[in-house]
Amino acid sequence: MRFIRPVRPVKKVYIHISASDNPDHDNVATIDAWHKARGWAGVGYHFFIRKSGQIERGRDLEKTPAAQRPFNRGTIAICISGLKIDKVTKAELASLVDLCWQINDAYGGQITFHGHREVANKACPVIDYKKILGISEKGFLAGKRPKGIDIKTPDDVSATDPHQAPEMSVTSLQFGQRGLQVEVLQRQLVRLGYQVGTIDSNFGNRTRAAVLAFQADNHLITDGIVGSATMEAFDDALPRQIGDTRQTASLATLAEGGSRIADASIKNIAAGGTTTVALLTGVTAEFSDTFQNLKSQIEPIAEPFGGTTTFMLIALLAVVGFMTWQSIRAGRARTQDHRTGKTS
């Protein structure tokens, strides 16, 4: 297998073990099923190494793993098959060495390697990964690729419970749910520039759209479900970046792009201007049958105000002016919402 460096930023690699020597569990499909049973979008590891040494791909490398919370962001997660140290094969360790050195070379040696137990109270991955990979005190792969494979367990490694899939401290949130947790989620999204509409504690369409946008921007699985990895990403997520094109968009460019509100605003403003000119030049009064009929009906009322023509002209100008002003306001609001990312 040839490793291809992902676009998302990566600084660390974490090594895990599957916690099972059952031959039926020696595949990434089983891990995927286990993690889905926990409510996740799928397998949390990017690679799974079988006892035969075969490397299977798991989660998309462009997506943040769900493997060592709260240290998932900016990492690659690798899982080897096994539970007991004497059942780990040299074939899978040889593949681990090859994969890790491929990753190291892809990053020019500027990436560190770690075992799960460094960030969790577990023995995972039970093997002496530092010796096997040739890891320095600072976590870098030092020197040349190791030739021999040593699978002896370190003295401080417990033989029990070597690995446990990462726990979720809160329940996953998804479309249709209501409550305080949803409100907290909505406020987090708005704080980062992802608009949810009204903060109403309801996980509706706009909240789901905001979650999907947040997940896409932060290299997460885009399923609209706020699970372990998504919740963790909120801890250090940056405000949403608004592109230069969006920030300088005009009402005209929005209309050209298909915005019905922008298009209607432009047409209404243009119509208002045309009507105003027509009224002021008397064109409407001269050629509109409707105008003449209306004029005869309100002559008694308009007499004290200087006659029907003056009265109706003022009234119509007021109506047209109000409608034009409303269209200008709607256009400005639509443009501002687009520039700030509130709308697409």
Tell me the catalytic residues. 16, 45, 116, 122, 124
* DSSP letter (8 states) at residue 115: E
Q: Which of 21, 19, 10, 17 is nearest to 45 (CA)?
A: 17
Evaluate whether 251 touches 335 at the Cβ level (below 8 Å): yes
| Distance (Å, whole) CA 141 – CA 137 | 10
Name residue 232's amino acid: E
The end-to-end CA distance of the chain, in Å, is: 40
| Distance (Å, whole) CA 149 – CA 123 | 20
Evaluate whether 47 touches 80 at the Cβ level (below 8 Å): no
Evaluate whether 166 touches 40 at the Cβ level (below 8 Å): no
> What is the enclosing helix (H) or strand (E) of 57?
strand 55-57
Q: Which residues pair with 202 in a beta bridge?
A: 178
